[in-house]
Amino acid sequence: MGSSSPLTRRNRAPSSVLLIFCCFILCFSHSSNAQTKPVFACDVDTNPSLAGYGFCNTLLKIEYRVADLVARLTLQEKIGFLVSNATGVTRLGIPPYKWWSEALHGVSYVGDATRFLGLVPGATSFPQVILTAASFNVSLFQAIGKVVSTEARAMYNVGSAGLTYWSPNVNIFRDPRWGRGQETPGEDPLLSSKYASGYVKGLQETDGADANRLKVAACCKHYTAYDVDNWKGVERYNFNAVVNQQDMDDTYQPPFKSCVVDGNVASVMCSYNQVNGKPTCADPDLLAGVIRGEWKLNGYIVSDCDSVKVLYEYQHYTKTPAEAAAISINAGLDLNCGSYLGQYTEDAVKAGLVHEAAIDNAISNNFLTLMRLGFFDGDPKKQIYGELGPKDVCTPSNQELAAEAARQGIVLLKNTGCLPLSPTTTKSLAMIGPNANVTETMIGNYQGIPCKYTTPLQGLAATVPATTYLPGCANVACTVADVAGATKLAGDADVTVLVMGADKSIEEESRDRVDLNLPGQQEELVTQVAKAAKGPVLLVIMSGGGFDITFAKNDPKIAGILWVGYPGEAGGIAIADIIFGRYNPSGRLPMTWYPQSYVEKVPMTNMNMRPDTSNGYPGRTYRFYTGETVYSFGDGLSYTKFSHSLVKAPPRVVSLRVEENHVCRSSECQSLDAFGPHCENTVSGFEVQIKVRNGGDREGVHTVFLFTTPPEVHGSPRKHLLGFEKIRLGKMEEAVVKFNVDVCKDLSVVDENGKRKVGLGQHRLHVGDLKHSLSIRI
């Protein structure tokens, strides 16, 4: 569309417009300085009178500047800062600001503020988060965040992006049907926590400058216990997540806590759904109590888009719109994505439902964030990062990181020995499948416009020019399969590669799956091609969630299976590098792949993590589910062989010294609090050292997982991840990986009331096949 938004910045306008604009300022600035539509806030050069305002004075403390600004505003002006399209205040030289930008795996065009036009036609599109998570590489999470924030700042400087990004999504991927599972780091609270804090630091942290300064502001969402979008008529807008305290503290909350406490995130977004009968955006315990009170958020709490309206209109949680506005602000909400608070807050104040002080408090949190971003520091070009521009977007090294992230994440699930393929002896390839030559599918949802795409076909054909291609189905739904065409192609080629799976028509926001089978005729196509193929057949699954591909796992004609997530703009490069052995696969599944029978037993709406023997509910995720899996959390093969040995183990017995009058001295106890004198008085920290050896004939990267199985107290998990570390080893090389384990912190579990406890009895640590038991007693 031709016309640009009212947010037009000087440097975004074409030069002719710029001239007219400058003339406008020159001609009118003397008579009506303060009334000139500001381009950026505190533009003291254009409007010298602003220099006298405390909020523009960069020498003052931020808190003082915020208070100064709030004190200058009328109630109506204040309300304008409660909504995501902030209108600004021309008389104070404050331009409008659009809060909503997204950067889940690259700067995205979803939201109001970010557009790919003219100067920046695209940005680096990294793999969808579920694949990046599969790398289990915390430095990679942070490295990606850093590149994304550089590109975001560069786009901001030319007026095509905002400063506030509502990413990442750190909800636990507790059910494979969830359409947004692809956006998350998977099912494990520890991995999700590390992802949350790592990615947020990458986005937010400035290079060495003031710790209070933000490069861009990140946001962890959707708080909390969300993860149902639209399943059999249950929509996120009306879903009441019934969550017990144990699952809340053990599973749903940890990524958010880590995001705020370890990542110092500048924002948290409350979700649409209710938790135990209360809309999250109207729950004072969850917002003011936990996020701000316990975790000490330094920033703002934003609603999911139109959440406030939803709690009134869909959930009928309040009797009037004004009550919905008041209850949210009083609960601790600072900003509304949407316009609802703009419409109804004044009524709420007039009706005495909310005090103006609560509004001051909310906008102070919003202003604080903008101050930390430099929004009130005058010309962005003269600030830190002011030199960034289009030249810093889609650089070769940024694009290489997108390829590298895909290489690090891709998971090899099956290999009968034919992988890697020899690039010299593989003379011909047949590429078959609806995802074999896709572009947009590779970037999943919350996408932007990538710098460029390399499709799987392009990636593999670069190595084997004699590559033939047939989609085999019109799309991933695959209602009709061209079996005859596909089998003919496979019959003529040295190797056949099938690229199957899903796309946004199967799983995305507002679209949950109802089953785990490959869509339509995909299974039939794969099976028939495998039968007819002349050479080995490789199956590549492109998807966010897992599939029941038991048929392929068991089919001897299928020589290899790869899961490639949605691998980002450079997906084809990474897939080819792995298939031809230029990169030795090292990704591990961040979520369980269940059989189809699982979803027939488990309603998606059941939030319980633990199994229930009384009704046959099997539990969720590797921590609790004991049934059959197709593939398990942590699965993933390499082209080399790694082995572990224990170099240093904890003692066999750890005695926690409890006080003389402790109740557990006189009676049987199952567990002790994971805090208190017995945790401080005892030497309860120890080191575990594991030697890892690459016994194969090529370099490889290996993830060491340290799991622990606690004694069976408080419905403890069957095992849980205590730490992970990724290392690169040359052939026949070995190295020692160290983990520090603290009995009270790391070996504790969450009890029925949400309290952390150390189980008394046998704890088992495991790394691969290695096991070590220790007994905790008093």
Ligand X SMILES: *[C@@H]1O[C@H](CO)[C@@H](O)[C@H](O)[C@H]1NC(C)=O
Catalytic (active-site) positions: 304
Judged by CB under 6 A, which of 297, 457, 493, 530 binds ligand X?
457
Residues 495, 540 contacting (CB under 8 angstroms): no
Between residue 400 and residue 429, which ones bind ligand X under the rule CB under 6 A? 404
**Please, what is the end-to-end C-alpha distance for the chain in angstroms?**
71
The residues with which 644 forms a beta bridge, in sequence order, are 692
What's the closest the beta carbon of residue 641 comes to ligand X, in angstroms? 17
Strand (E) positions, 474-625?
495-501, 537-542, 558-563
CA distance linking residue 578 with residue 412, whole number of Å: 9
Q: Which is nearer to ligand X, 84 or 101 (CB)?
A: 84
384 touches ligand X (CB under 6 A): no
Mask: binding to ligand X, 504-523, rule CB under 6 A, as x and -? --------------------
Mask: binding to ligand X, 659-698, rule CB under 6 A, as x and -? ----------------------------------------
CA distance linking residue 765 with residue 722, whole number of Å: 9
Judged by CB under 6 A, which of 184, 455, 467, 708 binds ligand X?
455
CA distance linking residue 82 with residue 326, whole number of Å: 12
727 touches ligand X (CB under 6 A): yes
Please give the backbone phi and psi of residue 420, each rounded to the nearest 5 degrees, phi first.
-75, 155
CA-closest candidate to residue 346, choices 365, 317, 326, 368: 326
25 touches ligand X (CB under 6 A): no
Q: Which is nearer to ligand X, 286 or 701 (CB)?
A: 701
339 touches ligand X (CB under 6 A): yes
Copy the structure tokens of residue 88. Answer: 């600004």
DSSP three-state, residue 565: coil
Q: Who contacts 191 (Cβ-Cβ below 8 Å, separation ≥6)?
A: 133, 136, 185, 590, 721, 724
SS (H, E, C) 424-488: CCCCCEEEECCCCCCCHHHHCCCCCCCCCCCCHHHHHHCCCCCEEEECCECCCCCCCECHHHHHH
574 touches ligand X (CB under 6 A): no
Judged by CB under 6 A, which of 253, 273, 318, 437 binds ligand X?
437
Instruction: Please compute Rg for the chain using Cα positions.
Output: 28
The residues with which 762 forms a beta bridge, in sequence order, are 775
Mask: binding to ligand X, 5-24, rule CB under 6 A, as x and -? x-------------------
Q: Which is nearer to ligand X, 296 or 452 (CB)?
A: 452
CA distance linking residue 103 with residue 163, whole number of Å: 11
Mask: binding to ligand X, 76-105, rule CB under 6 A, as x and -? --------xx--------------x-----
Options 213-221, 333-341, 521-529, 752-760: segment touching ligand X (CB under 6 A)? 333-341
CA-closest candidate to residue 229, choices 272, 186, 188: 272
Judged by CB under 6 A, which of 325, 359, 526, 701 binds ligand X?
701
Between residue 103 and residue 162, which ones bind ligand X under the rule CB under 6 A? 112, 137, 139-140, 143
CA-closest candidate to residue 178, choices 594, 717, 630: 594
What's the closest the beta carbon of residue 3 comes to ligand X, in angstroms? 11
What's the closest the beta carbon of residue 461 comes to ligand X, in angstroms? 9
What's the closest the beta carbon of residue 40 comes to ligand X, in angstroms? 18
Options 198-206, 257-265, 713-721, 725-733: segment touching ligand X (CB under 6 A)? 725-733
Judged by CB under 6 A, which of 439, 517, 606, 645 binds ligand X?
439
In 10 A of CB 377, how many CB atoms?
21
Q: Which is nearer to ligand X, 137 or 182 (CB)?
A: 137
Q: Which is nearer to ligand X, 370 or 549 (CB)?
A: 370
469 touches ligand X (CB under 6 A): yes
Q: Which is nearer to ligand X, 737 or 743 (CB)?
A: 737
569 touches ligand X (CB under 6 A): no
Secondary structure (DSSP) of 352-393: TSS-HHHHHHHHHHHHHHHHHTTTTSS-GGGSTTTT--GGGS
What's the closest the beta carbon of residue 10 comes to ligand X, in angstroms? 19
Judged by CB under 6 A, which of 719, 726, 757, 763 binds ligand X?
726
What's the closest the beta carbon of residue 315 comes to ligand X, in angstroms? 19
Judged by CB under 6 A, which of 728, 731, 771, 777 binds ligand X?
728
Residues 711, 677 contacting (CB under 8 angstroms): no
Residues at the interface with ligand X (CB under 6 A): 5, 84-85, 100, 112, 137, 139-140, 143, 305, 337-339, 404, 437, 439, 455, 457, 469, 701, 726-728
